Amino acid sequence: MFKLAHISDVHLGPLPELTLRELATKRITGFVNWHRNRRKHLFSNALEMLLADLGKHEPDHLAITGDLVNLATGIEIRTAAEWLREIGDPANTSVVPGNHDAYVRGAYEKAMQAWYPYVRGDDAPAEWPRGRHVFPYMRVRDRVALIGCSTSVATPPFSASGYFSPRQARDTANLLKAAGEAGLFRVVLIHHPPIHGATAMHKRMIGIRRFAAAISAGGAELVLHGHTHLNTIYWLNEHTTPVPVVGIASASQGAGGRKPRAAYNLFTIDGAPGAWKMTLERHSLSPEGNHFAPEMSRSFYNPATMRLVSEISPADLR
């Protein structure tokens, strides 16, 4: 039995002091948005309570699906690297970047270099391979293959879209095939939801069809994403068995906002190829904002409940 925890959209705060040079970029829009909106509802104590509650369940691995920072300044990237070292060993923590981690040109490379131990595949070089592709990567833990993909690219102001390239689609399909042939339970990590209509146009993932084709060609058992700050379950039906696509609220979202309160997913994976069993428990911050509690539980890949589970709509879990 393997326990996999999933959090996303950490948005570590508060914002550092910014120079005029830093503000003379797209960061000015994010700076204003933080002070007008995010600062009121994203709290570090929500994140601290989440991690404390999550730790009680002793997960085998933690998946973080992007947006560790807000404006991707140098200070934020270094702070996020320190935070990652505090919460877990790189061998037991897997990260993929989000749009905020590549907020301006050049930020993505700096973040991936600083966080490299957490985005490094099992067969990747020990040191940051400057100029070489990091994604997709694959890490095998017990009988679970974690395949990390990146949709993280710098975009113009008022855009938060992501991009999944043809090269990454081919490589992802190949990794999925190899993991399937090895009899592993395949979990794909990505920031933007690979589902049409899951976000507004300016926040969408470009390359959704390529991603679906990679899943169809290679096969997968689970896809985890962030970006929307919502608790959702969608389905990709391109494969023989529908593949659940699971999102989660921001790990730092306090009570009283428009978006769901901070939450984490906890998956229990067991069984074998052709007879996998997976249970999802979602734990959320209480309305009072002072503790976490189980909010939902669902079973997947159990022949007795597969039909029932596949009929769940995203609206049922918001």
Q: Please name each of the domains of the chain with its CATH number.
A: 2-317 (3.60.21.10)
Q: Which residues contact 308 (CB under 8 A, 6 or more apart)?
A: none
Q: Which residues contact 244 (CB under 8 A, 6 or more apart)?
A: 222, 223, 233, 234, 235, 300, 309
Angle at which helices 74-87 and 107-114 pack, to 10 degrees? 30
Identity (one letter) of the amino acid at 143? Answer: R
DSSP symbols for 248-315? ---TTB-TTSSSPPPEEEEEEEES-TTS-EEEEEEEEE-TTSS-EEEEEEEEES-TTTHHHHHT--GG
Q: 146-155, 226-235, 303-312: which range is least confident on average?
A: 303-312
Please, is 191 exposed, middle or buried when counting C-beta atoms within 10 Å of its C-beta (0-12, 13-18, 19+)?
buried
Q: 119-123, 187-191, 199-203, 255-259: which range is least confident on average?
A: 255-259
Band (188; pLDDT cuts 50, 70, 90): very high
Q: Strand ranges (DSSP E) for 108-251?
A: 137-141, 144-148, 162-163, 185-189, 205-206, 222-224, 233-236, 243-246
- Find, among 318, 143, 160, the residue nearest to 233 by Cα: 318
Greater pLDDT, 308 or 45:
45
Cα separation, 52 vs 209, in Å, equals: 38
Cα separation, 293 vs 93, in Å, equals: 23
Cα separation, 210 vs 191, in Å, equals: 15
Greater pLDDT, 304 or 247:
247
pTM of the predicted model as reported, rounded to 2 decimal places? 0.89
The dihedral built from the CA positions of residue 194, 200, 204 and 208, taken in this order, carries a sign that is positive
Greater pLDDT, 239 or 155:
155
What mean pLDDT, rounded, does the chain reach?
A: 88
171-190 burial, b at 16+ Cβ within 10 Å, e below that, comes to bbbebbeebbeeebbbbbbb
200-259 residue pLDDT tens? 999 999 999 999 999 999 999 999 999 999 999 999 986 667 899 999 999 999 888 889
Cβ atoms of 73 and 18 within 8 Å: the answer is: yes
Band (299; pLDDT cuts 50, 70, 90): very high
39-89 residue pLDDT tens? 556 566 999 999 999 999 999 999 999 999 998 888 899 999 999 999 999
pLDDT for the residue 310: 40
In the predicted structure, residue 118 carries a pLDDT above the cut 70: yes
pLDDT for the residue 315: 40
